[in-house]
Amino acid sequence: MRLSDQIVSLTLEHLELVLVAIAVASTLAIPGAILLTRRAGLRGAMVGFANIVQTVPSLALFGFLLPIPFIGGIGKHTAIIALCLYAILPILRNTLVGLLGVDAAVRESAVAMGMTPNQILRQVELPLAAPSILAGVRIATVTTIGTATIAAAIGAGGLGVFIFQGIASVNSVMILAGAIPAALMAVLADEGLEWIERRCSPF
């Protein structure tokens, strides 16, 4: 296979890892944060847990997951679970910040005007929190693109394959063939999601 074809196929694989991980992390973290705004007691514990996960070095986390039955093993799903765990914190935290940051006077008048909790969530809290939530997704996406290069270490593929091969054979061109597309992907994701963020801003 030519190098250029290989770059394309590994980039697509990389993108797949990131997209699946971010999609799963978002579907867990956004509703999770909504629940946590209603349960102040659980909030500290959950954010603390997500914080702790974030401090585990990524290579170590991939390693820890390997021997766990059903979750672990060589391949994509282990990598996706690990990437997901990392992506949850920024999304969870930003969603919480956005929802809790809604002006108390706005919330009080929403209740006093006779809106149901569901109407308040959909028509007031989520639209006002949208920029913050999307910023969380953007931060998570950009860091996941970087972290996903390490997934190659457990056989998940992606652009990390080039980087690990390049390191093993002391081949800078090979390392760059993995690093440059990954960096480009991160920049594009950052710009694109920032554009969406601006479009979704309620102001």
Partner 1 sequence: MIPAASAVLEIRNLSCRIGGRQILRDINLTVAAGETVVLLGRSGCGKTTLLKCVNRLVESTDGEILFQGRLLAEWDPFRMRRSMGYVIQDAGLFPHWTVAANAGLVPKLENWEPEALQKRVEFLLHAVGLPPADFAGRYPRQLSGGQKQRVGIARALAADPPLLLMDEPFAAVDPITRFELQKHFLSLRATMQKAALFVTHDVREALMLATRIVLLKDGAIDVVASPDRFRAAATEEARAFLASLDGIQ
- Judged by beta carbon, residue 41 or residue 114, the one nearer partner 1 is 114
- Judged by beta carbon, residue 190 or residue 197, the one nearer partner 1 is 197
Stretch that binds partner 1, among 26-34, 74-82, 117-125, 154-162 (CB under 8 A): 117-125
- Judged by beta carbon, residue 123 or residue 172, the one nearer partner 1 is 123
Residue of 113, 134, 50, 39 whose CA lies nearest to 86: 50
Stretch that binds partner 1, among 18-26, 124-132, 152-160, 169-177 (CB under 8 A): 124-132
Say how many residues touch partner 1, by CB under 8 A: 19
Is residue 41 a contact point for partner 1 (CB under 8 A)? Answer: no
Q: Which residues of 5-17 are buried (b: 16+ CB within 10 A; e: fewer)?
A: eebeebbebbbbb
Residues 155-194, mask of contacts with partner 1 (x by CB under 8 A): ----------------------------------------
Is residue 116 a contact point for partner 1 (CB under 8 A)? Answer: yes
Q: Read off the tokens for 99.
A: 């929802």
Other beta carbons within 10 Å of 25 = 27
Q: How far is the CB of 131 from partner 1 (least distance, A)?
A: 11
Q: How many residues does the chain have?
A: 203
Stretch that binds partner 1, among 11-19, 47-55, 77-85, 106-114 (CB under 8 A): 106-114
Stretch that binds partner 1, among 10-18, 22-30, 111-119, 137-145 (CB under 8 A): 111-119
Is residue 112 a contact point for partner 1 (CB under 8 A)? Answer: yes
Structural element, H or E, at residue 133: helix 126-147
- Judged by beta carbon, residue 10 or residue 135, the one nearer partner 1 is 135
Q: Among the residues of 39-100, which ranges form H helices?
A: 40-55, 58-65, 76-100
Q: Is the distance from CB of 50 to CB of 88 less than 8 angstroms?
A: yes
Is residue 101 a contact point for partner 1 (CB under 8 A)? Answer: no
Per DSSP, the three-state class of 54 is: helix
Which residue type sits at 141?
Answer: T
Residue 144, exposed/middle/buried by CB under 10 A (0-12, 13-18, 19+)?
A: buried
Task: Give residues in contact with partner 1 (CB under 8 A).
Answer: 103, 105-106, 108-116, 119, 123-124, 127-128, 202-203
